[in-house]
């Protein structure tokens, strides 16, 4: 079943396949994070510290919404990779059509809901009066692009499930360049303030959606997306929801938890709010390799489970885990010693730099157990089990983190409690994921261990 731009992950040397499939995803993730931080860098350098605080205060809200799109895209990708590995062309075609229709209709509905909820979302995150109007303007524009974001995520997962990790990279490069260029133009030339950066984001995503759809129109004839021959399948749609909603809920709960934590952060001075927001963005860069390897793990495990090549799926997990451990450790060490440099790229205020650097150094090495969580959960999801990763993430990164902050601030009211809370959640997530993968009867019964 040869297809333009796709890669079969059920054959060949596993290490070579991981590296071949991983490097475009790795670069894509770098550009994705660059894309995510562009708005903060622009407002922090070209508008004001207050604008940076306003955008930082909305980050958990934006991430909570995007996480639902990511989860549903994950569900669609698992189904597609499984059908692709089993060489079921008719099912691949139906899954692609269903996923895209789902993204368009769902994106429109979520745009309406999110626009209505903007004031409520800002209130529950305790955004202060000084930042409220600016944060609301940013979110109003940002949420208008929900359909574009959903299509953006769904298109990327479709391509990667078919073994194509290069085109998502090309599209992300284009999107990042457009977002930066348009953001600077709207802010510096048109004086649109924070609304300009949000507008740049949605325009760049709509443009990339066009190119992604164009590529899907030109896949192999048996599976390409054709407006005149859309084969929407309700059963596949239900499967996308059954796999994607738990993954989306998992990420949404993590970000809802972050919104609650943000309500504690927002009572501190603006310099602290900005510093923590920057630290979170910088820390994510050291997570890029593990995320790339986890994405490869999901797709390789899913394709091989579909092809009933269980030993190959098992070996994929072992190799992926070793690679993630080594690379994450190296990245964490580098970020630890260069923390101040990265924070200064966003804002050079001494207090912002100090708060951001302190937070990075306190939490950065918790990325290692987080890598265990990503790899093990990737393998578990690729095998069709999305409920365990959801439960694990909610308990470790939501419940445990909230309790740590709530109790910790009662005992010792210091901003460092907030810094360390993320590390607590990451560490517990890694431990729980490793224990489940290595000792559960489920993993052994399906041939994953």
> For residue 207, how far is the Cα from the chain centroid?
20
* Length of the chain (residues): 449
CA distance 282 to 363: 11
Pick the closest to residue 280 from 381, 143, 425 (CA basis): 425
What DSSP letter does each residue of 403-447 carry, written as one string?
A: HHHHHHHHH---HHHHHHHHHHHHHHHHHHHHHHHHH-HHHHHTT
Q: What is the pLDDT of residue 255?
A: 67
Task: Give the 3-state secondary structure of residue 170.
Answer: helix
Provide Rg for the chain, Cα atoms: 21
What DSSP letter does each residue of 270-319 carry, written as one string?
A: HHHHHHHHHHHHHHHHTTHHHHHHHHHHHHHHHHHHHTT-HHHHHHHHHH
User: Which residue positions in the chain have pLDDT lower than 70?
Assistant: 1-7, 35-36, 255-256, 258-259
Task: List b or e across 285-314, with b for residues whose CB sees 16 or more CB atoms inside 10 angstroms.
Answer: bbbbbbbbbbbbbbbbbbbbbbbebbebbb
CA distance 99 to 232: 8
Domain ranges of the chain: 14-445
Task: List b or e across 396-409, with b for residues whose CB sees 16 or more CB atoms inside 10 angstroms.
Answer: bbbebbbebbeebe
Q: What is the pLDDT of residue 2?
A: 43
The pair phi, psi for residue 370, each rounded to 5°, is -65, -35
**Cβ atoms < 10 Å from Cβ of 36:** 18
Residue matched to tokens 């998502």: 168
**Cβ atoms < 10 Å from Cβ of 205:** 24
Q: What is the pLDDT of residue 91?
A: 86
Q: Which residues neighbour 31 within 8 Å (Cβ) at sequence distance 6 or greater?
A: 169, 172, 173, 175, 176
User: Whole-angstrom distance between the N-terminal and C-terminal Cα of the chain?
Assistant: 29
What is the 3-state secondary structure of 212-271? HHHHHHCCCCCCCCCHHHCCCCHHHHHHHHHHHHHHHHHHHHHHHHHHHHHHHHCCCCHH
Using the 8-state DSSP alphabet, how is residue 187 labeled? Answer: I
Residue 414 vs residues 27, 168, 264, 383, 426: alpha-carbon distances, Å: 37, 42, 11, 43, 20
CA distance 167 to 263: 39
CA distance 71 to 64: 11
């Amino acid at each position: 079943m040869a297809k333009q731009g796709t890669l079969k992950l059920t054959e060949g040397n596993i290490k070579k396949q991981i590296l071949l499939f991983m490097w475009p995803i790795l670069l894509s993730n770098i550009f994705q994070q660059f894309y995510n931080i562009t708005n903060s860098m622009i407002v922090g350098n070209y508008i004001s510290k207050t604008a940076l605080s306003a955008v930082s205060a909305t980050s958990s809200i934006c991430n909570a919404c995007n996480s639902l799109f990511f989860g549903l895209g994950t569900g669609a990708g698992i189904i597609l990779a499984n059908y692709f590995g089993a060489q079921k062309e008719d099912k691949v075609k139906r899954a692609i059509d269903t996923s895209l229709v789902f993204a368009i209709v769902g994106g429109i509905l979520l745009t309406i809901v999110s626009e209505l909820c903007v004031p409520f979302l800002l209130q529950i995150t305790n955004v202060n009066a000084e930042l409220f109007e600016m944060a609301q303007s940013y979110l109003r524009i940002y949420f208008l692009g929900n359909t574009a974001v959903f299509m953006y995520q769904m298109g990327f997962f479709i391509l990667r499930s078919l073994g194509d990790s290069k085109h998502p990279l090309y599209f992300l490069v284009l999107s990042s360049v457009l977002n930066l260029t348009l953001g600077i133009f709207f802010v510096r030339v048109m004086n649109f303030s924070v609304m300009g950066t949000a507008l740049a984001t949605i325009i760049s995503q709509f443009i990339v959606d066009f190119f992604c759809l164009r590529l899907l129109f030109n896949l192999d004839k048996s599976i390409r997306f054709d407006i005149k021959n859309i084969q929407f399948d309700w059963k596949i749609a239900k499967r996308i929801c059954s796999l994607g909603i738990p993954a989306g809920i998992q990420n949404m709960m993590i970000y809802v938890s972050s919104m609650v934590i943000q309500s504690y952060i927002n009572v501190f001075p603006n310099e602290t709010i900005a510093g923590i927001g920057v630290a979170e963005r910088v820390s994510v860069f050291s997570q890029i390799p593990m995320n790339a390897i986890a994405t490869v793990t999901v797709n390789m495990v899913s394709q091989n489970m579909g092809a009933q090549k269980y030993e190959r799926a098992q070996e994929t997990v072992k190799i992926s885990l070793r690679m993630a451990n080594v690379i994450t450790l190296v990245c964490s060490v580098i970020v630890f010693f260069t923390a101040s440099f990265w924070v200064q790229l966003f804002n050079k205020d001494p207090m912002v730099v100090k708060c951001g650097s302190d937070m990075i150094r306190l939490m950065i090495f918790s990325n290692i157990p987080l890598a265990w969580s990503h790899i093990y959960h990737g393998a578990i999801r690729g095998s069709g089990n999305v409920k365990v990763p959801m439960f694990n993430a909610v308990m470790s990164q939501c419940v445990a983190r909230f309790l740590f902050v709530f109790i910790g601030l009662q005992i010792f009211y210091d901003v460092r409690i907030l810094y360390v809370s993320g590390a607590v959640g990451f560490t517990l997530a890694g431990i729980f994921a490793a224990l489940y993968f290595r000792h559960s009867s489920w993993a052994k019964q399906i041939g994953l261990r």
